[in-house]
Amino acid sequence: MPRPKSPSTLMWDAPARTRAPLHRDDVVRAALDLLDQAGIEGLTMRNLAERLGVQAASLYNHIRDKRDVLTLIADAIVADVPRPDARLSWREALKSTAIEYRRVLLGHRDAARVLTDTPPLGPHRLRLMDDVLGILRSAGFSNDEVASAGWIFNTFVTGFVLDEQSQAPASTDPAAAQQQFDVATWLKQLPADQFANIVAVAEPLVDQPMDRRFAFGLDALLDGLEGRLRAAASASPRPARSRAQTSATRRRAARSAPSR
């Protein structure tokens, strides 16, 4: 499909390129838009190129490969997670970070899928992890506990949203939405002698609000962490640095970190 050649080379000396050359950021922005509209299935190099008015091969001037695109998108998404408020207790800070993290992920179609498909080594994902680890350190956990708890925290949020987002299937087509497989009634019709427990709790299992379910798991996890902290403190009292103290370090880091 050749586009009409510019007459500039024949008649006069107007600029040959009618559009500013692509930049890496344009590609990432367009890819994120495409993800939101078409999902991870629709995010192909060819679709992405079309959206940028360019051939697919051109993209490889700006990114290494598709994995690269996904990794950049993932980091761009996480960039929107606000940094924790240093005035909060470690528990409040962790809780609000989890809630904000989930909220940001839910803001982009298949976001959790992109995150789990991709190494968490971009600057914003490292930033988030560093903040979480900072909160845990300020609470007084040992380095070993900080590493475990930080990992678990991340796994919990992304794992939860991954399930949550793969619930709602691909289609925006209104007809398909109607005849869409209804898990609720299907679960209730399961043979009660084989799946007595599922049948018994089918109702909350299906229409329980995901917000509340998330809060339930998060609170349970935080309770568990708090218990470990108290146990360690009563065994050998080791005072936690105050959150205000570590916050200075983290505010300094925020200033020197690249904003995007």
| Contacts to a copy of itself by CB under 8 A | 116-117, 121, 126-127, 129-131, 133-134, 137, 143-152, 154-156, 158-160, 162-163, 166, 183, 186, 190, 193-198, 200-201, 203-205, 208, 212-213, 216-217, 219-225, 227-228, 249, 252-253, 256-257
Selected binder of DNA within 22, 126, 199, 253 (CB under 7 A) = 22
Nearer CB in complex with a copy of itself: 54/138: 138
Nearer CB in complex with a copy of itself: 61/166: 166
User: Of DNA, a copy of itself, none, which one does residue 220 interact with (CB within 5 to 8 Å by kind)?
Assistant: a copy of itself
User: Of a copy of itself, DNA, none, which one does residue 126 interact with (CB within 5 to 8 Å by kind)?
Assistant: a copy of itself
User: Of DNA, a copy of itself, none, which one does residue 196 interact with (CB within 5 to 8 Å by kind)?
Assistant: a copy of itself
Query: Which region among 46-54, 127-135, 160-168, 252-260 touches DNA (by CB under 7 A)?
Result: 46-54
Q: Where in 54-93 is the site for DNA (CB under 7 A)? A: 54-58, 60-62, 65-67
Residue 258 C-beta: closest distance to a copy of itself, Å: 9
Residue 72 C-beta: closest distance to DNA, Å: 13
Tokens at 74, concatenated: 């993932």
